[in-house]
Amino acid sequence: MTYSVIWGIITKIIDVTFVWMMFYFILKYLRNNVKLILIFKGVLFLVAIKIISEILNLNTIGLILEYIIEWAPIAFIVIFQPEIRTVLESIGRHKLLGRHKVLTVDQREKIVYEITQALDYLRKNKIGALIVLERDYSLREYIEPANKLYADISSELLISIFFPNNPLHDGGVIIQGEKITCAGSIFPTSTNPNLSKRLGTRHRAALGISEISDAIAIIVSEETGRISIAVKSELNYNLSIDEAKMMLMEELQPEKETFYEADNGKNEEEVTDEKNI
């Protein structure tokens, strides 16, 4: 086997790999973006009409579709510029190396404890709230125009932020790692046509940010006091405190954890117990 033949095989493998990756990302963002799904359905509809017109010799509609297809790329870029920008930004925000900060078991427990304590108070007093936890996708574009805090997470601070008439209570809070980074952040609302009309702006904003990122969005309804969590483009509605706590612990857990024997005298059995939490 000559060098040129080997090189030809390698280039073909690379070519197929890139094609596979392209289709993978297209399907991934189609699945997570309602607008792109609607666009994709529209394109398929036009292609189907074009095929039917050729089979039935429908010259007029065929001619119109030819002009549409000819100018479609330019029209697509102009009309759907926001959607294209969203996809490109999502790709740019994604970190291939994983979370910007991997939380330990103790850190996760503390964060979830403080958040759930705040949620319990907010739901009992029917105080609306929107708390977003950043993961792999950077939320910098929503942090920049918001009010910067960079404070340690505490239930008291979260309650005071969302307390009525507080200047920071409008919008959402973004948490990065162990810090409350900002308050008053505005998120894009979901355009999913299947959403219930009873859901308010907070729920739509939470679902919207979960559709374009991997963030965890927690909502407390101002009208009912019910707790909901939006994650992976799905809205988990009317959760109890225990259900919210379990979901947060599970979602904040890194894909792969490395456990080290502690220097403070923890034995092997204690380390194993932590791993099972």
Give the pLDDT of residue 227.
Answer: 96
Considering only residues 211 and 116, tell me which one the structure prediction assigns the higher pLDDT: 116
- For the chain, residues classed under CATH 3.40.1700.10 are 105-252
Whether residue 168 contacts residue 161, with contact meaning beta carbons closer than 8 Å, is answered with: yes
CATH 3.40.1700.10 fits 105-252, yes or no: yes
Residue 18: which residues within 8 A CB-CB, separation 6 or more? none
Beta bridge partners of 174: 132, 182
Give the pLDDT of residue 99.
Answer: 43
The proportion of the chain whose per-residue pLDDT surpasses 90, expressed as a percent, equals: 36
Band of residue 7 on the pLDDT scale cut at 50, 70, 90: confident
Give the pLDDT of residue 90.
Answer: 57
Whether residue 151 contacts residue 109, with contact meaning beta carbons closer than 8 Å, is answered with: no
CA atoms in the 13 A half-sphere facing the CB of 62: 9
Whether residue 36 contacts residue 87, with contact meaning beta carbons closer than 8 Å, is answered with: yes
> How far is Cα 130 from Cα 169, in angstroms, rounded to an integer?
9
Q: Which of 29-38, 94-103, 135-144 has the highest mean pLDDT?
A: 135-144
Tell me the one-letter amino acid at 233: S
Considering only residues 103 and 205, tell me which one the structure prediction assigns the higher pLDDT: 205
pLDDT per residue as tens digits for the range 15-27: 888 888 877 766 6
For the record, the structure tokens of 46 come out as 């036009």
Q: Is the pLDDT of residue 162 over 90?
A: yes
Considering only residues 168 and 34, tell me which one the structure prediction assigns the higher pLDDT: 168
Give the pLDDT of residue 165.
Answer: 85
Beta bridge partners of 151: 180
Q: Is the pLDDT of residue 88 over 70?
A: no
Region of poorest pLDDT, from 19-23, 85-89, 162-166, 240-244: 85-89
Residue 258: which residues within 8 A CB-CB, separation 6 or more? none
The average pLDDT across 183-203 equals: 87
> How far is Cα 104 from Cα 106, in angstroms, rounded to an integer?
5
* pTM of the shown model: 0.62
Region of 166 (left: φ > 0; alpha: ψ -120 to 50; beta: rest) is: beta
Give the pLDDT of residue 113.
Answer: 95
Q: Is the pLDDT of residue 229 over 90?
A: yes
Give the pLDDT of residue 148.
Answer: 92
Give the pLDDT of residue 133.
Answer: 95
Q: What is the mean pLDDT of the chain?
A: 80
